[in-house]
Amino acid sequence: MTDPAALWVNGRPYSTELPDDERLLDTLRWRLGLKGTKEGCRTGDCGACTVLVDGRSVLSCLTLTREVSEEAILTVEGLEADPVGRTVLEAFVQEAGLQCGYCTPGFVVALTGLLKERPNASPEELLEDLQGNLCRCTGYLSIRRAVVGLAKART
């Protein structure tokens, strides 16, 4: 069945027709053209599809769009307008916390959510919470430096 859905993404309202069983990932990428959210595994194991829904990290490959309609959705495209998100982006750039960049949106969005939820979290706590985000290129050292730098700057 296809019904209209009201969505609020990156501070902007959207109204779109969508099937009841459509994943948020597909809605963002294919209906709204927000390609920053990546599909890595389709099973919730890699974190590449992470978005924030009302401030909490959500794996968009495991979430039906209908489950989050009427809630505020923040994708990597919306982070520049978010003070915490902008700070996280800057840290990743400063520390070269990317290589191919495929996993970067998931890491940056997840870290933004963690810092909003727990602004005084230690580097160790943040790194532990990011264990669900996987990277196949960097060896995590540059990502680790970005996380440690952010945590130290906030405490």
Separation of alpha carbons 130 and 109, rounded Å: 11
Q: What amino acid occupies position 123?
A: P
CATH topology of domain 2-76: Ubiquitin-like (UB roll) (3.10.20)
**Whether the predicted pLDDT of 144 surpasses 70:** yes
Characterize 83-105 residue by residue with b for buried, 16 or more Cβ atoms within 10 angstroms of its Cβ, and e for exposed: ebbebbbebbeebebbeeebbbb
Percent above pLDDT 70 for the chain: 97
pLDDT, tens digit (0-9, with 9 covering 90-100), for 104-119: 999 999 999 999 999 9
Residue 88 backbone phi and psi in degrees, to 5: -65, -45
Q: Where are the domains of the chain?
A: 2-76, 78-154
Mean pLDDT over each residue of the chain, to the nearest integer: 92
CA angle 49, 75, 62 (to 5 degrees): 35
Q: Could you tell me which residues come within 8 angstroms of residue 91 by beta carbon, excluding any fewer than 6 positions away? A: 97, 146, 147, 149, 150
User: Which sign does the torsion angle of CA 9, 134, 152, 125 carry?
Assistant: positive
Query: May I ask the CATH architecture of the domain 78-154?
Result: Orthogonal Bundle (1.10)
pLDDT, tens digit (0-9, with 9 covering 90-100), for 4-31: 678 999 999 998 888 989 999 999 999 9
**Whether the predicted pLDDT of 2 surpasses 70:** no
State the distance between the two ends of the chain, measured CA to CA, in whole angstroms. 50
